[in-house]
A and B are shown apart, each in its own frame.
Chain A
């Protein structure tokens, strides 16, 4: 019966070559035995590899599985892999069948090796061999892995510690990285490594980052099993930390309150005198708006968004409320609807920089959904609460005309919540005797799906903006009401 002895270094490639040979030669799993160099071949075994000419294809994910499982410490790993590969030949879909007992076992083994690799990346502890002033620094570690994880994990250390020499010695094979070259060597004895001053600092850190008020020994041990402790310098501190924790926690609870140190008053005074670069708007009205707590919306929004534009603008544009972008940036009409408005304005010959732009409600109202915020229409209460800010802005700017975009703005300015579809393009009476031209909110256009409807609505919107320009420039508005 053919027997394959796989080498301790380069195991993955050797297994693949042998398995490919047997598979193409049609050798069934029961007709071949496998072992690594620790398993002696049977009395009637002969070293052999199969050869054949049939090309074989294997699902890609099996290669990944095999490349990991070959490093497991189970002596049956090679045979298990080949047996599964043999079945896979006629039923490639088996690789996705997690209910299959053999695949489940292989995946379990793969998980064991991956965990062992992960723990090696985590728990290897280097000590310095030379001095910190050496032109190329040199480090060494002794590590005892559960599986044959040195070879597949060496790459991690080369990618991470490329500017220094290092070696990881283990009872299995050892790995050396010197002057940028990697090599593996079997059978190194456990070395005596020189003491390292940084290790003491590390233990100090470990002892002090621990919080004695929350002892969770089980959680620590499930992630850092005791078998690794003997090669981790900080682990020696653990028993004492655990033993002292309850008393330390009790002492904190029982300690009586103390008086603040003398420097506290001076420090607090210094704090109070600091000026932040973020210190909101300096003008009185925007400052008052940003401090508004009139309704609950301020608790969830980032900031209040006050109007902006020249204070002597002839035209004032009022939208509904800040959206996602406006809320983040603190400026009105900068989100998708604002950008669309700018396009429409350009078509209509409206210069936005010469208008005062604001919203009926100053805080963003939304409900969170996953990673998005879904806009919510403000209710009449919120509109009414925010009305005083809108009125104050109108009194400050004294525009000749107000353009109300959408139902919320129209309601805030005229008190009527009648449908916009019947009112758009008309001029109504607004606060402080300023006439209000009603139009749709640009976000209405963004929501329309039907191309023809969209086209028509867009034309209407541009017409409304043209009308706004005209009315805000012409003198006689009286005829409208």
Chain B
């Protein structure tokens, strides 16, 4: 085989990395290179440097160190039984690509993942070596996200956390049974233990020593994970149940949902359907309601018989339609908790309503200016200049929001 060029390797190893949804570059420690001796900065909020036509942002150089792998996970393009072309970057190649892309303002940093070669420890050690070189030799202060290999030795995880901004370990599928079925070499218990280990190290790095000295920050942008949606038969209630447990147990920053998408040279074990993008979108909406809007899991999925979210309307609207007795809400009197439950009101709008309410009572036009989506909200609120009348209880309210019914295609 002819020696692969850097361009060929990059093509293979970015193609192999695209199924990881995470791209965040936000929430780490603020730092910059003003001294003139180093390169890069992080100012808290992430920056998306480009968008691909799949609608996903490109913030980090998301590549695999290698796509050789000794595991055989059915859903994965890099599984050992697949015939996709293989490549491997050297440590220097990854470092150079990261630095040169960064200098041209293409990226916020590096998201490095890898297939498992030889053993989890060998692979993790090479990944740590790349991060070490970036930080210590190139004085790189941009963002680094390392995918952690669950079985890697604890001391490697420790060093990875001190070098990287974020660590992530994918739970892959919503239930232990599916993980065992589709990823026989992975152990769901071990994945949980590795996440627990990261959380403990992160908690531990907060305690000052007896001299008052702060220990070095461990993975300051926290840890995240990813679940593949639509590969197994799990319902949305199961998926969201798993996420709420992950958030509570391991203090995850994010759970990413990745609609299972056809891959080159796919396994026969899995359905080759078009990816359930709408379902993925609804899961993210539900995830937000759980984390920022004070909703409980059973409120979101409890009123659905099959345990799945309504694909046609968003979960907050679905909840409001099922609880019309609580509406219309008087915007000038309602509590923060209730305002957050009005479809069309976001957390910012609610903040603005509460801020302005201290000085005067609100009128309908005000809500528009505060950023509320009144098309949705007006059936659920009452205030000066607006009363929804019978709209709140009208039988066709759902039909006003749902997309019009479509005739099935004949072909």
Residues of A within 8 A of B (CB): 93, 96-101, 104, 118, 121-128, 132, 137, 139, 141, 156, 158-164, 180, 196, 198-202, 204-220, 223-224, 232, 234, 238, 241-242, 245, 249, 252-253, 255, 257-258, 260-261, 263-264, 267-268, 270-271, 274, 276-278, 290, 298-300, 302-303, 327-330, 366, 368-373
Contacts and interface: CB of A to CB of B under 8 A. Distances in A.
B277 A161 contact: no
Contacts of B289: none
B193 A252 contact: no
A366 B248 CA distance: 10
B185 A159 contact: no
Nearest to B296: A369
Contact of A208 (B11, B49, B106, B189): B11
B285 interface: no
Contact of A274 (B47, B69, B119): B119
B369 interface: yes
B245 to A, nearest CB: 5
Contact of A220 (B11, B52, B190): B52
A310 B370 CA distance: 66
A241 B70 CA distance: 32
20 contacts: A97-B360, A98-B356, A98-B370, A122-B48, A125-B104, A126-B105, A128-B103, A141-B105, A161-B103, A162-B35, A196-B104, A206-B58, A218-B55, A220-B53, A232-B50, A252-B264, A253-B262, A327-B196, A368-B247, A368-B249
Nearest to A369: B248
A214 B55 contact: yes
Given A216-B277, A264-B80, A278-B190, A271 B185 contact: yes
A264 B81 contact: yes
Nearest to A228: B50
A103 to B, nearest CB: 8
Contact of A99 (B39, B55, B365): B365
Given A99-B363, A368-B247, 20 more contacts: A97-B356, A99-B369, A99-B370, A118-B47, A139-B103, A159-B32, A160-B33, A162-B36, A164-B103, A180-B36, A201-B100, A206-B52, A218-B55, A238-B53, A249-B274, A261-B80, A261-B83, A290-B189, A298-B189, A328-B200
B103 A137 contact: yes
Contacts of B359: 93, 96-97
Contacts of B139: 163
List the 5 closest A-B pairs by CB distance, nearest first. A219-B55, A216-B55, A99-B366, A368-B248, A260-B81
A255 B249 CA distance: 41
Contacts of A163: 33, 36-39, 139
A278 B151 contact: yes
Contacts of A327: 196, 249
Interface in B333-364: 352, 355-356, 358-360, 362-363
Interface of B: 6-7, 10-12, 14-15, 17-19, 32-41, 43, 47-58, 61-63, 69-72, 80-83, 97, 100-101, 103-106, 116, 118-121, 139, 150-154, 175-176, 185, 189-190, 192-196, 199-200, 244-245, 247-249, 251, 259, 261-268, 272, 274-275, 277, 291, 352, 355-356, 358-360, 362-363, 365-367, 369-370
A210 B54 contact: yes
A257 B189 CA distance: 31
Nearest to B200: A328
B53 A213 contact: no
Contacts of B154: 277-278
Contacts of A207: 11
Contact of A98 (B41, B57, B355): B355
A298 B245 CA distance: 13
Contact of A158 (B34, B63, B71): B34
A237 B294 CA distance: 43
B47 A121 contact: yes
Contact of A162 (B38, B47, B116): B38
Nearest to B8: A204
A45 B371 CA distance: 39
A205 B41 CA distance: 23
A234 B53 contact: no
Contacts of A255: 264-266
Contacts of A234: 50
B118 A270 contact: yes
Contacts of B50: 122-123, 206, 224, 232, 234
A195 to B, nearest CB: 13
Nearest to B152: A277
A201 B7 contact: yes
A328 B275 contact: no
Nearest to A263: B80
Contacts of B262: 213, 249, 252-253
A93 B358 CA distance: 10
A5 B96 CA distance: 48
A218 B55 CA distance: 7
Given A211-B18, A213-B262, A96 B40 contact: no
A261 to B, nearest CB: 6
Contacts of A371: 247-248, 251
Contacts of B7: 200-201, 204
Nearest to B262: A252
B158 to A, nearest CB: 12
Nearest to B6: A201
B203 to A, nearest CB: 9
Contacts of A258: 82-83, 265
B121 A277 contact: yes
Nearest to A291: B189
Nearest to A299: B176
A288 to B, nearest CB: 14
Contacts of A241: 52-53
B185 A214 contact: no
B272 A252 contact: yes
A199 B199 CA distance: 39
A253 B36 CA distance: 51
Contact of A276 (B33, B103, B120, B366): B120
B43 A302 contact: no
Contacts of B105: 124-126, 141, 161
A123 B248 CA distance: 37
B83 A242 contact: no
A240 to B, nearest CB: 10
A214 B244 contact: no
Which of A161, A204, A302 has the most B CB atoms < 10 Å from its CB? A302
A97 B352 CA distance: 8
Contacts of A124: 105
A252 B72 CA distance: 19
Contacts of B193: 278, 302-303, 330
B41 A159 contact: yes
Contact of A125 (B106, B119, B194, B360): B106
B185 to A, nearest CB: 6
B119 A123 contact: no
A93 B54 CA distance: 45
B60 to A, nearest CB: 10
B18 A270 contact: no
B52 A210 contact: yes
A220 B199 CA distance: 34
Given A158-B34, A252-B266, A215 B54 contact: yes
Contacts of B264: 252, 255
A183 B69 CA distance: 51
A220 B51 contact: yes
Nearest to A258: B83
A349 to B, nearest CB: 27
A183 B257 CA distance: 45
Which of A164, A268, A298 has the most B CB atoms < 10 Å from its CB? A268
Contacts of B200: 328-329
A159 B34 contact: yes
